[in-house]
Structure 1
Amino acid sequence: MKATDDVRRAMAPQGVLRTTINLGNPILAGRDPETTRPHGISVDLATRIAERLGVELELLVFDSAGQAVAAVDAGQADMGFFARDPERGQGIDFTPPYVLIEGCYLVPDASPITDMTEVDRPGNRVVVGKGSAYDLFLSRAIQHAEIQRSSTSPAVVAYFLEHELEVAAGVKQQLEAGIEEYGGMRLLPGRFMTIEQAMGVPKGRDPLAREFLAAFIEEVKSEGVVAELMARHGIEGATVAPQA
């Protein structure tokens, strides 16, 4: 889809493409340890979109998905990178996904829990990152266990250990990093959800904006750009979403 003047106005009505970047998901973005600048797949894709539109890019960087969603909902950003979710869909129009990520459970090594079906039981406390995709999902799915929330997704494992909880839920790679850092924990086999990472624009925005992003996503998937960016940033355990 060509970046016509109409598309440019739909995507960046102020002449600058304001894009949220969520540091809470290490698959998508992080900070360079030397420059502290954000980097990652979402930053690279946002840069390509701005270049195609011929406008300046303004990165609005947040520590959690909930903060990034709120910025788009409030019209403070023109687009963002999010996991698709029905609740978020009330204020955001999503594109098809470009990356699929696994949501998994973590338990102490000594836990009697060996299977995901044993998590949702009375007496179990499950910590999630506040406002994350798996928070929204598990808030609907969990019927018997108690859900607790850490301030951000990267804080889940530390919260889990500090409060001596039964289960932690999150992005597989983030939980694996916690195991490597602290030890004494294990992942339960399988996944409780597949997290569909997509882009989104504020609900009510000119439909050309979503159409442009949706076409862009299909293009970068089919041309191998997403796979190339994942390899460049050393992302393992995630997969490129299939063509819509």
Structure 2
Amino acid sequence: MNRRMFVAAAGFALLAAAAVPALADSLDAIKASKTLRIALDLGSPPFGMNDASMQPTGSDVESAKLLAADLGYTLDLVQVTSPNRVPFLLTGKTDLVMASFSISEERKKVIDFSDPYGVIQIVIAAPKSVTIKDLKDVVGKRLGTTRGSTNDKEVTAQAQGAEMVRYDDDATLITALISGQVNIMASSPQTMASVNARRPNDPLEVKLVVKTNPYAIGIRKGDDALRAVVNEWVHANLRNGKLDAIYKKYNGVGLPAEMLN
């Protein structure tokens, strides 16, 4: 770890340690305000995006609305991007994060997660004309990805020698792939589908599945009461099929059967 990375990591850890005691009673504050602040990434279709009327939509948006309604609170949608999901949570700008938030050991060091309510694959995709059979085939190639995402971190770690071209959100990455700024992506099948809808003459196809990650709701460490309430909601809505229906509506496929039991 170089000095800059060490200093950043140390600062991040201190921020986490300072934030938790002061914000540990989030559930009481939510009950008092009757408002649930949920961070959502509207630049990450089909999880979060704006519709033709510029209204928030997507599977995470609909899930967040369901969560707030089931708990009887007003939803306060806090817009985030991949890089600032954790900082917004740690500094108290939001109570929860629902933004295709993949569970990772690195993130678990500073925040907690609910039980999973969805899954997302990390894939490398490119046009049919590009041959990629394994990670060795991306050495020296430019791969577009979303900065700070698990896609970025996982592929950067595994695809040594590839040139990672990082964009601030999925929407910007999609635009870059449509315009030809980059021609290979390290992202999700959902991002690929969004690209192909606007790139029909030269669509991308999945070349490699790098990893399949469950995603969950991000919660501050110490917010155990809030986490218990959220977990109860997750399991109830997996059993009754509502979360599966939302996922299927926006992703085209249902959740894995083992998640619904």
Matched AA of 1:20: A
**Alignment TM-score, normalising by the size of structure 1:** 0.82
Shift of 1:236: 1.1
Shift of 1:12: 5.2
Question: Residue 100 in 1 paired to residue 116 in 2?
Answer: no
* 2:135 corresponding residue in structure 1: 117
User: How do residues 114-153 of structure 1 correspond to structure 2 at under 5 angstroms?
Assistant: 114-121=132-139, 123-153=140-170
Equivalent pair of 1:114/1:188 in contact (CA under 8 Å): no
Taking structure 1 as reference, are residues 79 and 12 closer, same or farther at Cα in structure 2, changes over 3 Å only?
Answer: farther
**Number of residue pairs aligned between Structure 1 and Structure 2:** 233
C-alpha distance in 1 between matches for 2:181 and 2:27? 51
Shift of 1:96: 1.8
C-alpha distance in 1 between matches for 2:240 and 2:121? 24
Equivalent pair of 1:101/1:237 in contact (CA under 8 Å): no
* 2:255 corresponding residue in structure 1: 239
Q: Percent identity?
A: 21
Shift of 1:27: 3.0
Shift of 1:94: 0.5
C-alpha distance in 1 between matches for 2:91 and 2:193? 34
C-alpha distance in 1 between matches for 2:123 and 2:106? 21
Taking structure 1 as reference, are residues 222 and 119 closer, same or farther at Cα in structure 2, changes over 3 Å only?
Answer: farther
User: How do residues 213-232 of structure 1 correspond to structure 2 at under 5 angstroms?
Assistant: 213-231=230-248
* 2:211 corresponding residue in structure 1: 193
More strand by share: 1
3-state secondary structure, aligned to 2:154 = helix
More helix by share: 2
User: How do residues 1-244 of structure 1 correspond to structure 2 at under 5 angstroms?
Assistant: 8-9=27-28, 14-34=33-53, 36-62=54-80, 64-81=81-98, 82-111=101-130, 113-121=131-139, 123-160=140-177, 165=182, 167-182=184-199, 183-205=201-223, 207-231=224-248, 233-237=249-253, 239-240=255-256, 242=259
Deviations 1:170-223 (Å, cap 9, x if unpaired)?
A: 111221331331232432344112132211112232x11112111211111111
Taking structure 1 as reference, are residues 150 and 8 closer, same or farther at Cα in structure 2, changes over 3 Å only?
Answer: closer
**Alignment TM-score, normalising by the size of structure 2:** 0.77
Taking structure 1 as reference, are residues 24 and 176 closer, same or farther at Cα in structure 2, changes over 3 Å only?
Answer: same
Shift of 1:39: 2.1
Matched AA of 2:123: C
Q: Once superposed, what is the RMSD of the aligned Cα atoms?
A: 2.7
Shift of 1:19: 0.5
Matched AA of 1:225: K
C-alpha distance in 2 between matches for 1:11 and 1:91? 22
Equivalent pair of 2:122/2:209 in contact (CA under 8 Å): yes
